[in-house]
A and B are shown apart, each in its own frame.
Chain A
Amino acid sequence: MTTLKKSLGLRAALLSLLIFAAIVGLWQIAAQPPAASGPAVDPEYAKLVGAAAATGAKSAMPTPADIGVTIWKHLMDPFYVKGTNDKGIGIQLAYSLGRVLLGFGLAALFAVPLGFLIGMSPLVYRALDPFIQILKPVSPLAWMPLALYTIKDSAISSIFVIFICSVWPMLINTAFGVASVRREWLNVARTLEVGPFRTAFKVILPAAAPTIMTGMRISIGIAWLVIVAAEMLVGGTGIGYFVWNEWNNLSIANIVTAILLIGVVGLLLDQGLARLTKLVTYPE
Chain B
Amino acid sequence: MFKDPFDPKTLLKPRCSCGGDHAPADHARLSAVPASDEQRFSRVVDAAVLRAVFPVDAQRRQFLKTVGATTAMAAISSVFPLATAREAFAQGGAPEKKDLKVGFIPITCATPIIMAHPMGFYSKQGLNVEVVKTAGWAVIRDKSLAKEYDAAHMLTPMPLAISLGIGSNPVPWTMPAVENINGQAITLAIKHKDKRNPKDWKGFRFAVPFDYSMHNYLLRYYVAEHGLDPDKDISIRSVPPAEMVANLRADNIDGYLGPDPFNQRAVFDGVGFIHVLTKELWDGHPCCAFTVSKEFATQNPNAYRALLKAIIEATAYASKQENRKEIARAIAPTNYLNQPETVLEQILTGTYADGLGAVKKDPNRIDFDPFPWNQFAIWIMTQMKRWGQLKGDVDYAKVAADVYLATDTANMMKEMGLTPPDPSKKTIVIMGKAFDPAKPNEYVESFAIKRS
Residues of A within 8 A of B (CB): 39, 41-42, 44-45, 47-50, 52-53, 56-59, 82-86, 145, 148-149, 152-154, 232-236, 241, 244-250
Contact = CB atoms under 8 A, between A and B. Distances in A.
B265 interface: yes
A52 B148 CA distance: 41
B339 A249 contact: yes
Contact of A153 (B132, B148, B270): B148
Contacts of A234: 135, 139
B158 to A, nearest CB: 16
Contacts of A250: 245-246, 265, 269
Given A49-B270, A52-B269, A53-B268, A86 B334 contact: yes
A149 B359 contact: no
B357 A42 contact: yes
B109 to A, nearest CB: 15
Given A85-B132, A153-B148, A235 B139 contact: yes
Q: Which of B143, B337, B339 has the most CB of A within 10 A?
A: B143
Contacts of A84: 130-133, 335
B99 interface: no
Contacts of B136: 233
A247 B271 contact: no
Interface of B: 106, 130-136, 138-139, 142-143, 145-148, 242-243, 245-246, 249, 265, 267-271, 333-340, 342, 346, 352-353, 355, 357-359
B358 A52 contact: no
B148 A154 contact: yes
B270 A245 contact: no
A148 B338 contact: no
Contacts of B249: 58
Nearest to B351: A48
Contacts of A48: 268, 342, 346, 352-353, 359
7 contacts: A56-B270, A58-B271, A85-B132, A153-B146, A154-B139, A233-B136, A247-B246
Contacts of B138: 145
Contacts of B339: 248-249
| 5 smallest beta-carbon distances between A and B, as pairs | A53-B270, A83-B335, A152-B146, A86-B335, A235-B135
Nearest to B132: A84
A148 B135 CA distance: 14
Contact of B242 (A42, A47, A247): A247
